[in-house]
Amino acid sequence: MEDRRMSEIIVENLRYRYPHAKKLALDGLNFSIEKGEFIGIIGENGAGKSTLSQAIMGLVPQFYKGAYGGKVIVDGIEAGKTPVSQLCGHVGLVFQNPFNQLSGAKDNVYEEVAFGMQNLGLPAEEMKERVENALKLLDIWQYRDRNPFDLSGGQMQRVAIASVLVMRPDVMILDEPTSQLDPEGSDEVFRAVEALTNSGITILMIEQKIEKLAAYCDRILLLHGGKQIAFDTPQKVFSMPDLADYGIQAPAFTRICKAEHVTLPDGTYPVTVEEAAGVLKERHAGRAETEGAAKADEKKDSEVLGEEQFLIKNLDFSYLPDVPVLKALNMRLDKRPTAIIGQNGAGKTTLVKLLKGLLKPVSGNIYFRGEDISGKTVAMLAGNVGYVFQNPDDQIFKYNVMDEIMFGPINIGMDPKRAEEEAKRALELTGLTGKEKENPYDLELHERKMTAIASVLAMDTDVLILDEPTIAQDWKGRQIIGGIIRSLSERGKLVIAILHDMDFVAENFERVIIMAHGQVLADGTARDVFMQDEALKKARLQKPYMMQLSEVLGYERAYLTVDEILRDQMS
């Protein structure tokens, strides 16, 4: 074991229980982290990841109270007993929701980022230098004069990171910092964070993006039910045979290698594309491609066109007269589940709001089943088109889950008996059965999101629009959402979703549309679209992990998912 006296963070038998809770949120954690290490914290929702991050920041127990035992020592300071305002010079915490991290007292990004340093009493010259460095590092220097509240989620997230970064903490904890970012944007954050570790800052990052963690982290801490299950290298942790029991899906590359029984020299499975390609190349040397199977599959992908649902003709839209958001957009949407992808601020949300009638076109027309929707109110369209907003807290207002879910169906005039049936079906689909009587506000964010989805599902609309449904969802949650999409599609309903998770897109959607700067860059099956390197680059997107691996391995066929590659290897 390493010499513990030298460690940056020492956690000794940490136990914690929230007030009014029966179960321990953290149960006997023991580990130490060295200076400059990059640690990934994984686990399903409710595993204790965020609680641990708050314990290192001293917020647990100082802010949340509750029963606390054991010790957390950061930089030689005991976190549980040192006021947070003193500790914040040593430890920085970036929240999951950047919106709440903004001070709300500064009207431009530059001053917002400097806010923390002002409180610590740093000299002006020093502040200016640090702000400039941080803004440039995170590529938001161009937004320095903008109001932070006017930025998109991804930009705001980078402001939040910068505002903690400038305080030069020795330890930085990031709680799902990339959940709102497009793929390129999240890569930038990972690269920026990695650069920080080189300057001696210790990083702890909670993240659902397993493949990214595997590529960047030195060690992975796996939590489950408040207990520490493993703390080791990514290779060792992701090679654990019982990983799925803890609600974690191993990186795509690891799953392939597991199925193929190829390991690294030390007996663990590869976790990154390079490692996987290295071992797989040796294995497949000289092996011919199985073209036949691929062809058969291809046909199934492209030729199922359903009847037309939406027809968009020459659509123009702008919020401000001189700033067009959508330009001469033409699109035909049929019944295939459709994913709309693109960088932050590409006009995706604007487009779906227009489909829902929440916004009216500046010029051009939108037809829903041949009928122009411009003359209809949102409430009139409610029975046909369902829309789940990103933030569930924007709609929840009832005191129990069942009432919340029943609100929509009753509103659109469904009779109570059928509404109840639909509500039950929605509960089952979202995995909320058994929580009917709970107050939505007592639920965790991921469950509140499911409640919001269920409340729209129950309206049994012909079209369902989902805006970033996978944010805050763990592997299990993502599987549930995948199930919802399949189930609706089987019942002949159109699902449109805005997403940043390319692998989720590849696994669950038949049609993919890439948008950038208010225009469609590519449109087709997932396979076709992800082959268009130019469009992907323009829209700051990345290929699904399996496709990256197929390319590195030099396969002729681009595989989209792990299942696909395995099916082919078998035949």
Partner 1 sequence: MKSISLFVDNGTYLTKVHPFTKLMYIAAAISIPLITGKLWMFGVFIAVSLCVLASGKILKKTIPLIAFSFTILLTIFLIHGLFNQRNVNVLFQIGGLKFYREGTLYALHIGLNILNMLLSFAVFVLSTKPSELVDELEKRGFSPRFGYIVTSVFQIIPQMMGTMNTIMDAQRSRGLETEGNLRTRAKAFLPLISPVVMSSLINTRERAIALEVRGFSAGKKKTWLADRKRHKGDREITVLLGLCILAAIAWRIVVCLR
CA 88 vs. chain centroid, Å, equals 27
The residue (of 414 and 502) whose beta carbon lies closer to partner 1 is 414
Identify the residue among 305, 371, 397, 563 touching partner 1 (CB under 8 A): 397
* Spatial distance between the Cα atoms of 164 and 344, rounded to a whole number of angstroms: 22
Instruction: Spell out the alpha helix ranges (H) of 387-519.
Output: 401-411, 416-429, 445-457, 475-490, 502-508
For residues 17 and 20, give the distance between their C-alpha atoms in angstroms, rounded to a whole number: 8
Per-residue binder mask for partner 1 (CB under 8 A), 461-500, x = binder: ----------------------------------------
What three-state secondary structure class fits 54? helix
Q: In angstroms, rounded to a whole number, what is the distance separating the alpha carbons of residues 136 and 144? A: 10
Residue 116 CB, nearest distance to partner 1 (Å)?
4
Taking only Cα atoms into account, the Rg of the chain, rounded to an integer number of angstroms, comes to 24
Nearest approach, Cβ of residue 159 and partner 1 (Å): 12
Name the burial class of residue 553, with classes exposed (0-12), middle (13-18) and buried (19+) by CB atoms within 10 angstroms of its CB.
middle
Sheet with 323-333, edge to edge strand ranges: 323-333, 310-320, 363-368, 371-372
Minimum CB distance to partner 1, residue 64 (Å):
9
* Beta bridge mates, 313: 365
Taking the least distance from each CB to partner 1, the nearer of 268 and 455 is 455
- Using the minimum distance from each CB to partner 1, give the nearer residue, 46 or 386: 386
* Residue 476 burial (CB count, 10 A): 16
| Burial track 17-26 (b if 16+ CB lie within 10 A, e otherwise) | bbeeeeebbb
Which CB atom, from 336 or from 356, has the smaller least distance to partner 1?
356
Among 264, 311, 358, 531, binds partner 1 (CB under 8 A): 358
Q: Which of residues 406-425 bind partner 1 (CB under 8 A)?
A: 407-408, 411-412
DSSP 8-state code for residue 180: T
Measured CA to CA, the distance from residue 393 to residue 443 in angstroms comes to: 11
Give the E-state strand segments of 101-213 in sequence order: 171-175, 202-206
Of 160-168, 286-294, 360-368, 483-491, the segment contacting partner 1 by CB under 8 A is 160-168
Among positions 428-447, residues that touch partner 1 (CB under 8 A) are 441
The least distance separating partner 1 from the CB of residue 314, rounded to whole angstroms, comes to: 25
Cβ nearer to partner 1, comparing 28 with 89:
89
Burial track 408-430 (b if 16+ CB lie within 10 A, e otherwise)? bbbebebeeeebbebbbebbebb
Give the DSSP H/E element, type plus range, for residue 236: helix 234-238
Nearer CB in complex with partner 1: 264/358: 358
- 59/531 with CB nearer partner 1: 59
Pick the closer one to partner 1 by CB: 391 or 569. 391
Among 59, 230, 293, 311, binds partner 1 (CB under 8 A): 59
For residue 187, which of 314, 273, 263, 88 has the smallest C-alpha distance?
273
- Minimum CB separation of residue 221 from partner 1 in Å reads 21
427 vs 536 by CB, closer to partner 1: 427
Q: From residue 70, how far is each of 27, 28, 45 by CA, in Å? A: 10, 8, 24
DSSP state at residue 409: H
Residues 377-396 that bind partner 1 (CB under 8 A): 377-379, 382-383, 386-387, 389, 391, 393-396
Largest CA distance in the chain: 72
The residues facing 467 across adjacent strands are 498
Q: Would you say 244 or 380 has its CB closer to partner 1?
A: 380
**Nearest distance from residue 167's CB to partner 1, in Å?**
7
Residue with smaller CB distance to partner 1, 387 or 555: 387
Q: Which is nearer to partner 1, 175 or 474 (CB)?
A: 175
Closer to partner 1 by CB, 128 or 424: give it.
128
- From residue 542, give the alpha-carbon distance in Å to each of 136, 185, 336, 550: 23, 10, 22, 14
The reply to whether 319 sits near partner 1 by the rule CB under 8 A is: no
d(CA 117, CA 110): 12
CB of 205 to partner 1, least distance (A): 16
Are 392 and 444 in contact by the 8 Å Cβ rule? The answer is: no
C-alpha–C-alpha distance, residues 26 and 24, integer Å: 5
Question: What three-state secondary structure class fits 501?
Answer: coil
Q: Which stretch binds partner 1 (CB under 8 A): 72-80, 209-217, 336-344, 373-381?
A: 373-381
> Measured between alpha carbons, how far is 458 from 406 in angstroms, rounded to an integer?
7
Using CB under 8 A as the binding criterion, the count of chain residues that bind partner 1 stands at 68
**Cβ 326 to partner 1, closest distance in Å?**
18
Shortest spacing between CB 415 and partner 1, in angstroms: 14
Nearest to 353 by CA among 314, 406, 317: 317
Interaction mask 80-119, partner 1, x per CB under 8 A: ---xxxx-xx--xx-x-x-xxxxxxxxx--xx--xxxxxx
Closest distance to partner 1 from the beta carbon of 165 (Å): 12
Q: How far is the CB of 246 from partner 1 (least distance, A)?
A: 28
Judge contact between 458 and 432, C-beta under 8 A: no
Among 212-220, 308-316, 405-413, 524-532, the segment contacting partner 1 (CB under 8 A): 405-413
- Give 163 or 430: the residue with its C-beta nearer to partner 1: 163
Closest separation in Å from C-beta 121 to partner 1 = 4
Binding mask 337-356 for partner 1 (x = CB under 8 A): ----------------x--x
Query: Which structure tokens are listed for 517?
Result: 């700067």
Residues of span 120-159 touching partner 1 by CB under 8 A: 120-124, 127-128, 147, 149-150
Q: Which spans of this chain sit near partner 1 (rule: CB under 8 A)?
A: 57, 59, 63, 83-86, 88-89, 92-93, 95, 97, 99-107, 110-111, 114-124, 127-128, 147, 149-150, 163-164, 167, 353, 356, 358, 377-379, 382-383, 386-387, 389, 391, 393-397, 407-408, 411-412, 441, 455-456, 459
